[in-house]
């Protein structure tokens, strides 16, 4: 066990994990406690200080709300979002699909913004992908849900995709990190994080009782490590943890759960439960396709939002060592009270929006 922990620390110091290392899940209506499909993206990215903004509808496009990188004043790249039809989309980068074309790459955010404008149903997204010129400039697992209760992933590369519907599984749930099951076997990243998510959500998945709270307050705050087989934050006598292969990471910039409407209900009932910043130290703020609260809107210098600025101040306390590889170490004595306070705020938000 000591040798394993030393190896994990060495890997963290060497920076072997990619910044864009998201953990995600889609669940069809039959898999959730509310009977509403869920889409979850725990986002890791070098594009930090995220915000949420709304795009107004036109005669030919849907209005929608989406997550953006700080500084994206033109709202070019959407990284998770929901539209007025109850369609929602997110992605995780995949590192074992066919490589991007050198001349055209990193278009995942553009594709998702396009989908939010155009798509009402999962089949619409499939048709949109079919219509895009090749190469598409993407290498990603796109997760989507819709107001009919469906949920799916599209493992997508420059020249095509493979679709996986959640309802084709035993429990109506699919999980993806940074590898694709149609990609090169054993390549890619996020295998431990994938198992972390499977373990943490396993009981709720088996019962068909997934909730947004489980995802933002459970998985996005958990320091369970499947390879070690334990919750590394459970021992309160331990102050320092190495930031390696947990779902929340130093590079985590948001946790978003979109809860679409119940099949047959008003699609505008969809909610985008949003934690901006390092999710273990953040709290949920609900947005919809038609309304974004001021806390999430880009009103701060650098085109970011108040929630991101407040979270960044807390992160400095949680990762206080700046010299050398010190930024890889989590001060759990600092995080625990912050996490408890932020969790309390999240639960108030969930309770007030029942």
Question: Where exactly are the structural domains of the chain?
Answer: 2-352
For the beta carbon of residue 73, count every other beta carbon within 10 angstroms.
11
Q: 124 pLDDT exceeds 70? A: yes
Architecture of domain 2-352: 4-Layer Sandwich (3.60)
Backbone φ and ψ for 168, nearest 5 degrees, come out as -85, -5
pLDDT tens, 157-183? 999 999 999 999 999 999 999 999 999
Q: 335 pLDDT exceeds 80? A: yes
Q: 265 pLDDT exceeds 50? A: yes
**Of 55-59, 98-102, 254-258, which gets the smallest average pLDDT?**
98-102
Residue 338 and residue 318 in contact, taking contact as beta carbons nearer than 8 Å: yes
pLDDT at 283: 98
pLDDT tens, 44-91? 999 999 999 999 999 999 999 999 999 999 999 999 999 999 999 999
pLDDT at 38: 98
pLDDT at 19: 66
Rounded to an integer, the average pLDDT of 261-275 is 96
Residue 273 and residue 286 in contact, taking contact as beta carbons nearer than 8 Å: yes
Sequence-distant (6+) residues with CB within 8 A of 243 are: 12, 249, 250, 319, 328, 329, 330
pLDDT at 100: 67
Q: In terms of Cα–Cα distance, which of 89, 85, 94 is closest to 39?
A: 89
pLDDT at 7: 35
The C-alpha atoms of residue 201 and residue 69 are separated, in whole angstroms, by 28
Q: What percent of the chain has pLDDT over 70?
A: 94
- Chain-wide mean pLDDT for the chain? 94
pLDDT at 20: 84
Q: 277 pLDDT exceeds 80? A: yes
2 falls in which pLDDT band (50, 70, 90)? very low
Spacing of C-alpha 89 from chain mean position: 10
Q: What percent of the chain has pLDDT over 90?
A: 91
This prediction has a pTM of 0.94
Tokens at 229, concatenated = 């087989």
Tokens at 227, concatenated = 């390879």
pLDDT tens, 197-248? 999 999 999 999 999 999 999 999 999 999 999 999 999 999 999 999 999 9
Sequence-distant (6+) residues with CB within 8 A of 17 are: 11, 189, 244, 245, 249
Q: 185 pLDDT exceeds 90? A: yes
pLDDT at 4: 37
pLDDT at 234: 95
């Amino acid at each position: 066990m000591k040798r394993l922990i030393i190896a994990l620390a060495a890997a963290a110091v060497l920076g072997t994990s990619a910044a864009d290392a998201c953990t995600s899940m889609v669940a069809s209506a039959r898999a959730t406690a509310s009977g509403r499909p869920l889409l979850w993206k725990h986002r890791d990215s070098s594009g930090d200080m995220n915000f949420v903004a709304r795009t107004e509808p036109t005669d030919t496009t849907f209005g929608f709300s989406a997550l953006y990188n700080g500084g994206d004043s033109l709202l070019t790249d959407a990284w998770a979002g929901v539209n007025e039809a109850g369609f929602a989309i997110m992605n995780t980068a995949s590192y074992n699909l066919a490589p991007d074309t050198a001349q055209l790459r990193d278009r995942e955010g553009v594709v998702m913004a396009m989908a939010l404008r155009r798509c009402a149903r999962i089949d619409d997204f499939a048709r949109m992908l079919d219509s895009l010129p090749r190469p598409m400039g993407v290498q990603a697992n796109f997760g989507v849900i819709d107001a009919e209760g469906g949920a799916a992933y599209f493992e997508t590369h420059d020249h095509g995709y493979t679709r996986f519907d959640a309802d084709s599984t035993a429990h109506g749930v699919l999980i993806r990190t940074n590898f694709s099951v149609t990609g090169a076997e054993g390549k890619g990243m996020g295998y431990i994080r994938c198992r972390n998510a499977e373990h943490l959500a396993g009981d709720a998945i088996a019962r068909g009782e997934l909730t947004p709270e489980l995802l933002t307050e459970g998985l996005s705050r958990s320091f369970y490590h499947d390879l070690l087989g334990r919750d590394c934050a459970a021992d309160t006598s331990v102050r320092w943890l190495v930031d390696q292969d947990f779902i929340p990471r130093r590079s985590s910039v948001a946790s978003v759960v979109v809860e679409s409407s119940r099949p047959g209900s008003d699609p505008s009932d969809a909610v985008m439960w949003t934690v901006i910043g390092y999710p273990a130290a953040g709290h949920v703020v609900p947005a919809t396709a038609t309304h974004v609260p001021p806390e999430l809107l880009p009103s701060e210098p650098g085109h970011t939002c108040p929630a991101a600025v407040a979270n960044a101040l807390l992160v400095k306390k949680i990762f206080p060592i700046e010299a050398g590889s010190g930024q890889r170490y989590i001060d759990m004595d600092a995080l625990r009270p912050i996490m408890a306070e932020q969790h309390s705020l999240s639960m108030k938000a969930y309770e007030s929006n029942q």
